[in-house]
Amino acid sequence: MKRIVATLALMLWPALVAAQFYPDYNSITVNDFADILPADSEAAISAQLDALRADTGIEMTVVTLTRQATYDPDASLEEFATGLFNHWGIGNAERNDGIMVLVLPGDRVMRLELGAGFGKGWDDVAEAVVQDAFLPKFREGDYVAGITQGVSATIDVIARPFAANAPPPEPAKPAKGGGGLWWLSIFPLGLAALFLQGTIRRKLRKCPSCAARGTLQIEDRTIDAATRSSKGKKERVTRCTNCDFREKSIVVLPMLSATRSSSSSSSSSFGGGSSGGGGASGKW
């Protein structure tokens, strides 16, 4: 009997060791293991992610860990993020449309990991969101603003367009004789066009009341969820953290595609999705 137990232990040991690399999740929306988000900010982000899931079926989660070395010091950031994503099974198992925001403040790195269903075309968009929405505030040491701004940008620029079957923006064609680094000149132009819409434009504009920049926060509340036969709507509240400015508006949500439902799994667990390593990383 002891020999059988020992044999089973040896067979299961690799799986047990691998499992130790990743923490267990407590929530499918926000797991702030690094303890960098105040309770009200965590609740607001969770509400955004719940609304996204109700509207589109897309599971998006935010994870903060102090340092990667605590879990798996030998893997690259990209390998660790993909492993954590797949260990938790983020996203719908058939569509593989999950999204994970991983922030490691002790290592000063982050990863925006996309499910395998997004395809390589969305990696450039993820890179733009990381560089333009997350990292500027992270470099200032303001993790709350960076995560809040980055999550809203990811929802508006990646998750909702993908749910509406919109293709990722394509880079412009190189000019004749432009050489092999043509994309260095057109990439900022592509970003300008991309981020003149949605959350980043709203967040980085000046407050209409006090003229402070980067102080606008946006909270969404679903009024009517979109279905496969009708559009939905949500109430958007924009407020300034520097003054008393507060503005309400109604946003129309696109109809769901035939392959999506309003929920991809139960409310307490992920849907079994996976990632092939797509997305983008950032350092500050």
User: Stretch 144-151: mean pLDDT, rounded?
Assistant: 96
Model pLDDT, residue 17:
46
Model pLDDT, residue 237:
83
Quick: pLDDT tens for 165-214: 988 876 544 444 444 433 333 344 344 444 434 444 444 567 889 988 76
Assigned domain for 14 exists? no
Model pLDDT, residue 131:
95
User: Stretch 120-148: mean pLDDT, rounded?
Assistant: 95
Assigned domain for 273 exists? no
Assigned domain for 271 exists? no
Say what the pTM is: 0.67
pLDDT of 11 higher than 90: no
pLDDT of 160 higher than 90: yes
Assigned domain for 236 exists? yes
pLDDT of 150 higher than 80: yes
Assigned domain for 225 exists? yes
User: Stretch 134-141: mean pLDDT, rounded?
Assistant: 97
Assigned domain for 11 exists? no
Model pLDDT, residue 227:
59
pLDDT of 3 higher than 90: no
CATH classification of the domain holding 37: 3.10.310.50
Q: How many domains does the chain have?
A: 1
Assigned domain for 13 exists? no
- Winning range, highest mean pLDDT, from 27-36, 218-227, 255-264, 265-274: 27-36
CA–CA separation, 44 and 31 (whole Å): 13
Quick: pLDDT tens for 12-71: 545 444 445 799 999 999 999 999 999 999 999 999 999 999 999 999 999 999 999 999
Three-class HEC string of the chain: CHHHHHHHHHHHHHHHHHHCCCCCCCCCCEEECCCCCCHHHHHHHHHHHHHHHHHHCCCEEEEECCCHHHCCCCCCHHHHHHHHHHHHCCCECCCCCCEEEEEECCCCEEEEEECHHHCHHHHHHHHHHHHHHHHHHHHCCCHHHHHHHHHHHHHHHHHHHHHCCCCCCCCCCCCCCCCCCCHHHHHHHHHHHHHCCHHHHHHHCECCCCCCECCEEEEEEEEECCCCCCCEEEEEEEEECCCCCEEEEEEEECCCCCCCCCCCCCCCCCCECCCCCEEEEEEC
Assigned domain for 125 exists? yes
Residue found under tokens 């075309």? 121
Q: Which amino acid is at 86?
A: N
- Which domain range does residue 83 map to? 28-167+183-258
